[in-house]
Structure 1
Amino acid sequence: MIKELQRAISQHQHIQIIYLGGDGNTSQRILRPVEIAGDRLKAYCLTRRAPRVFNIENILAIQPVVIRSAV
């Protein structure tokens, strides 16, 4: 998981995650990962349109996302 996050950060790639929140609910987010700080991921959440911090151990799944620009 950490290697995929580091790769996304270094390649400036958007990712989609499934995240287990503190309330026990899962959510699906699209992120622009910025930095790994200890056991947390700092990212800009495109879903919520705000910076967020995620506990890495609560990320259940990750996959790269291709953002298509309008022409």
Structure 2
Amino acid sequence: MNGILERAAGEKQNLEMVYMDGKGRMTQRIVRVVAVREETILGYCYWRKQVRSFKRDNILSVYPVEERKGMAL
């Protein structure tokens, strides 16, 4: 997962992330990674429309978003 996160930050690529929120609910989000830290990921969350901090331990899966021509997030 580290490689995907760091590559996404360097290439400004959006990721789809399945994440366990603070209340134990699973959420699925589209995120643009801003910084990869030891315990957290800093990223722009398109769902919340703001930069958020995500605990690495709560990230269940992450994979690149396949962007299609003419489609905006």
Q: TM-score, normalised by structure 2?
A: 0.87
Where do 4+ consecutive residues of structure 1 move more than 2 Å? 66-71
Judged with a 3 Å threshold, the aligned counterparts in structure 2 of structure 1 residues 19 and 12 are, in CA distance, closer, same or farther, namely same
Q: Identity over the aligned pairs, expressed in percent? A: 34
Aligned alpha-carbon RMSD (Å): 1.5
- Which structure: greater strand fraction? 1
**Cα deviation, residue 38, structure 1:** 2.0
Q: TM-score, normalised by structure 1?
A: 0.89
Structure 1 gap ranges (5+): none
**Cα deviation, residue 10, structure 1:** 1.1
Work out the number of aligned pairs and report it: 71
Structure 2 gap ranges (5+): none
Q: Which residue of 2 aligns with 1:3?
A: 3
